[in-house]
């Protein structure tokens, strides 16, 4: 079986699993009218990210790479939790790298996290600081959210 067929089967399995999970637990979309839905707390976010196994998918260079991981993770977040996980890319030394931006409530504040679904690692995004994506610090001068 070629790699493309394996990828399609994995994606179909993820979607079926996400649909089944979403049928047994009602998505918590409680912010209708906003352009995003955040996690209710950073604790909830961290528990969910610990359970996420998107990083177990096989990375295939130029076929199933960073953008595919970011969009797959977005689908899982929307279907399973009813929350947003924006696929985003940062331009780093003229190279795009895709990751996810996730918003979580932290008391009365909102915090943004950069999630690297390839590695399953997250880091808080801090104003005027380089963004750490996975294990690398990037001085991203432009982020595009989808």
Cβ of residue 44: shortest distance to Ca ion, in angstroms?
Answer: 29
Cα(137)–Cα(115) distance, integer angstroms: 13
Q: Lay out the site mask for Ca ion across 36-65 (x = CB under 5 A, - = otherwise).
A: -----------------------------x
Evaluate whether 106 touches 43 at the Cβ level (below 8 Å): no
Task: Give 65 or 106: the residue with its C-beta nearer to Ca ion.
Answer: 65
Token pair 């961290």 is found at: 46
DSSP element (H, E) containing 100? strand 95-106
Using an 8 Å Cβ cutoff, are 83 and 38 in contact? yes
Question: Minimal distance in Å, beta carbon 47 to Ca ion?
Answer: 29
Shorter beta-carbon distance to Ca ion: residue 52 or 68: 68
The nearer residue to Ca ion, 11 or 21, going by C-beta atoms, is: 11
Number of residues that bind Ca ion (CB under 5 A): 3
Q: Is 68 in the site for Ca ion (CB under 5 A)?
A: yes
CA distance 41 to 53: 20
Write phi, then psi, for 21 (nearest 5 degrees): -65, -40
Instruction: Show contacts with Ca ion in window 85-124 (CB under 5 A).
Output: none
Note the residues at the interface with Ca ion (CB under 5 A): 65, 67-68
């Amino acid at each position: 079986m070629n790699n493309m067929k394996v990828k399609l089967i994995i994606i179909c399995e993820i979607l079926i699993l996400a649909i089944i999970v979403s049928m047994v637990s009602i998505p918590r979309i409680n912010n209708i009218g906003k352009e995003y839905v955040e996690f209710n707390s950073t604790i909830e976010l961290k528990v969910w990210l610990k359970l996420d196994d998107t990083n177990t998918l096989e990375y295939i260079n130029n076929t199933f790479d960073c953008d595919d991981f970011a969009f797959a993770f977005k689908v899982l977040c929307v279907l399973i939790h009813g929350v947003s996980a924006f696929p985003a890319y940062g331009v780093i030394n003229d190279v795009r790298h895709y990751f996810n931006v996730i918003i979580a409530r932290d008391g009365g504040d909102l915090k943004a996290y950069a999630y690297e679904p390839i590695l399953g690692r997250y880091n808080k995004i801090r104003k005027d600081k380089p963004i750490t994506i996975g294990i690398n610090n990037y001085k991203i001068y432009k982020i595009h959210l989808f």
